[in-house]
Chains A and B, each alone.
Chain A
């Protein structure tokens, strides 16, 4: 973490020195600060399959954010810190710098240095191309919680689209639950024991490139990344302990969305090349929105997405000690069907619901997420995940007794 900081500081000072060259401007600094304090309660309906697993997790989290702007907003420092304290699972009690970066933004280019979050992709049910940031797995099940990634990020807004280059000097390890935690494999892996293919370990230097543009109804994104994989293999170390093992990877990604009237057509796909495996994965689907139903103001979006992944899910053979397959996906041929209800009311109430169905096996995951604001500064969220009918050769078989409901209440300052 210290090293991330020093990288950040060096980057800030070098860019600062560079931007001074561009000529000083009005130096009025504007500051903004906000804070979110929230408490969540996660309750698992069944006892855990594995030793020591708990059923009820309560936690509190704080997330202070700040922005410093000067030079008429052309230069900024953004900070977003995060910390959680949980009753069980010491790994869920964790903190992170989600973002802390300096940015200079001109009309047709931007340069950022520091820890930043980047989102790529168009599909709702899985996030295939979105690999700049490591997943903060102990935070959430859907892979949308991310750790801050140290980077230099350059964006060029040209007449033929947006070109982005990323220099990635550090790899973040995926957060993993301890013994008490749920939604885990039968063996407990310690993120700190992780081993790397790169001689530089987590200081592996990588890069990424993205081109994005829109042509009428089409939005297109093409990306390439060469860095240490965000997903890991499980292998035994010299002390015969099972540890996460991070390989180097090349990944090519493509995203396309066509927006025709109330229909959204979406595709995203990747080809990933690593020592252990080359594979492709894709997801494609559509979304249709019935808006302002019967003049009630309510919108209903219905969506269906097909997911295909070449990889086999991870399997532990406890007799031979052999481990095969990938921790990266639980989907081989699946379909997601769901809906999104937006009430368009003063409280911004919304409900997201759906089911993931394995097309070759019996496994299903049902989910529901609802949110609503209370008064001016409170927000309540409800999340429900049900795992059902999973068979032995599916990744979610390990989580078959981990259906849960979670309530979250947040206050914004």
Chain B
């Protein structure tokens, strides 16, 4: 009897160890596929739809810089609504610990360092939380392979991703990696702290840039609990910008736009 229990434990442990390894392996393959893009700039339109179907929009532009030894750097500029035009956020993501973040307020030309611990809060009234939009470093989650399932019509590996940060708004998420297209993400289903289904993010209109990197034309987030939706439509991707560290500085928060 005892032996059977021990055996069952061994099997359970080894399979869970196996699925953890496999989950991490898939995440690493994704990370490898998205290594080497260097830097790029985007313009996008964010469309927010409330539970009554009313829409409002924001125009954003962004720039990203890949870092090898630490998390990536990014800047987001608000181009509309007009009363917040010029507002910009600079983020240095870190593989471990909290990110560094600065906010530029154009009315008084002030740059202020802000706390970046607000992971779970909504980004400018949208259904995207700050953590959904920050750089997805491998170290920020633990992984577990769950199953294979179709998403966007493609066969995907579904990996459960658990956030390391206790301040995350999620207990876990199911990430759909497409192994036939360099492990690009087709879909993410988010589960809230209680483990209930919370939001679904669908990646649409993938295009290949620089010969090997898949980037989506649209991110579509649906909140199942509030019935609100947010779409981010990328209008341009520019991989020829050749950005450097200085382009991600407090000074450039003001002068880059």
A residues lining the B interface (CB < 8 Å)? 34, 36, 73, 76, 103, 105, 107-108, 110, 117-119, 122, 144, 146, 155, 157, 162, 212, 214, 219, 257, 259, 261-264, 289, 291-292, 295, 297, 299, 344-348, 373, 376-377, 379, 410, 412-413
A263 and B115 in contact, given A157-B246, A344-B125, A345-B125 (Cβ under 8 angstroms):
yes
Chain A residues with Cβ below 8 Å from B169 are 292, 295
CA distance A260 to B100 in the complex (A): 10
Convert B83-126 into 0s and 1s, putting 1 for each residue whose CB lies closer than 8 angstroms to a CB of A: 11100000000000010100000001111111101101111111
Whether B81 and A373, one on each chain, are in contact in the complex, defined by CB atoms closer than 8 angstroms, is yes
Convert B230-257 into 0s and 1s, putting 1 for each residue whose CB lies closer than 8 angstroms to a CB of A: 0000000000000010110111100110
Q: Which of B125, B246, B252 contacts A347 (CB 8 A)?
A: B125
CA distance A118 to B110 in the complex (A): 8
Chain A residues with Cβ below 8 Å from B192 are 295
Chain A residues with Cβ below 8 Å from B115 are 259, 261-264, 289, 291
Interface size class of B (residues with CB under 8 A): 35 or more
Whether A379 and B113, one on each chain, are in contact in the complex, defined by CB atoms closer than 8 angstroms, is no
A261 and B247 in contact, given A289-B117, A292-B121 (Cβ under 8 angstroms):
no
Q: List 29 A-B contacts (CB under 8 A).
A: A105-B252, A105-B256, A107-B244, A118-B109, A119-B109, A122-B112, A157-B251, A162-B250, A257-B113, A259-B113, A259-B115, A261-B98, A262-B118, A264-B113, A264-B114, A264-B115, A289-B117, A292-B121, A297-B121, A344-B125, A346-B50, A346-B56, A348-B81, A348-B83, A376-B80, A376-B81, A377-B81, A412-B82, A413-B82
Chain A residues with Cβ below 8 Å from B118 are 262, 289, 291-292, 299
Q: Which of A73, A261, A348 contacts B125 (CB 8 A)?
A: A348
Chain B residues with Cβ below 8 Å from A412 are 81-83
B239 to chain A, nearest CB (A): 16
CA distance A259 to B97 in the complex (A): 12
CA distance A119 to B112 in the complex (A): 10
A348 and B124 in contact, given A119-B109, A162-B249, A264-B115 (Cβ under 8 angstroms):
yes
Whether B109 and A117, one on each chain, are in contact in the complex, defined by CB atoms closer than 8 angstroms, is yes
Whether A344 and B121, one on each chain, are in contact in the complex, defined by CB atoms closer than 8 angstroms, is yes
> Is B201 an interface residue, CB under 8 A from the partner?
no
CA distance A105 to B257 in the complex (A): 11
